[in-house]
Amino acid sequence: MFHRLPILAFFCVLLTGCATQSYSPDNAPEMSVIREFSALYKLGPMQGRGPDTTLRVGTRVKLLRKEMGYSLVMMEDSRTGYMANEDLVPAPPRPPKPPESGLSMSDTNTGGRSRPSGQRYRGEQVNDSPLPESAPPPELDLNIGLEDIAAPPKPVPSGSPSGTPKFRY
């Protein structure tokens, strides 16, 4: 009877180590893909065909359920699938959204983008002046003869050695 107790305890520890972690889509941690062309399986890695799609490096996904080797993830377009755990790392935080300004399109001529508050140069620019009109460029002579080459080509070494090699024993 007592010899079965350690075996039972071992299996209890083993089963608790294999437990999955599940998250709701609202509370799911964001993960980032770290390998180029990471496989995404719609039904799981043991499905009868190859991967349904591949994801690029830096793609953000939400981790819905973390399992032993593969995890169920949800992409930004709400498609779900299974990915290998080694292809995922916690995503860096998203940059803060810039505050919306009250400027309209008519307030600025930059399409709503804000400019620095300093003075802007309004004088004549270099690109404002037209290019000078000149004669067309002369035609190029592309006929090159042997006399136009600076140095004669170097001889190509042959594959046979020039003398007998000397060895030391």
Q: Which domains does the chain have, with CATH numbers?
A: 17-90 (2.30.30.40)
pTM score, whole prediction: 0.48
SS3 85: helix
- Backbone φ and ψ for 83, nearest 5 degrees, come out as -130, 155
Strand-pair partners of 90? 31
Characterize the bridge pairing of strands 38-40 and 53-55: antiparallel
Q: Which residues, at least 6 apart from 63, have a Cβ–Cβ distance to it below 8 Å? A: 23, 28, 29, 30, 31, 71, 72, 73, 88
Alpha-carbon distance of 1 to 24, in angstroms, equals 43
pLDDT string in tens for the chain (169-residue length): 556 666 666 655 555 555 578 888 888 999 999 999 999 999 988 888 999 999 999 999 999 999 889 999 999 999 999 999 999 999 998 888 887 765 554 444 555 555 556 666 676 666 666 666 777 777 877 777 767 666 666 777 776 666 676 777 6
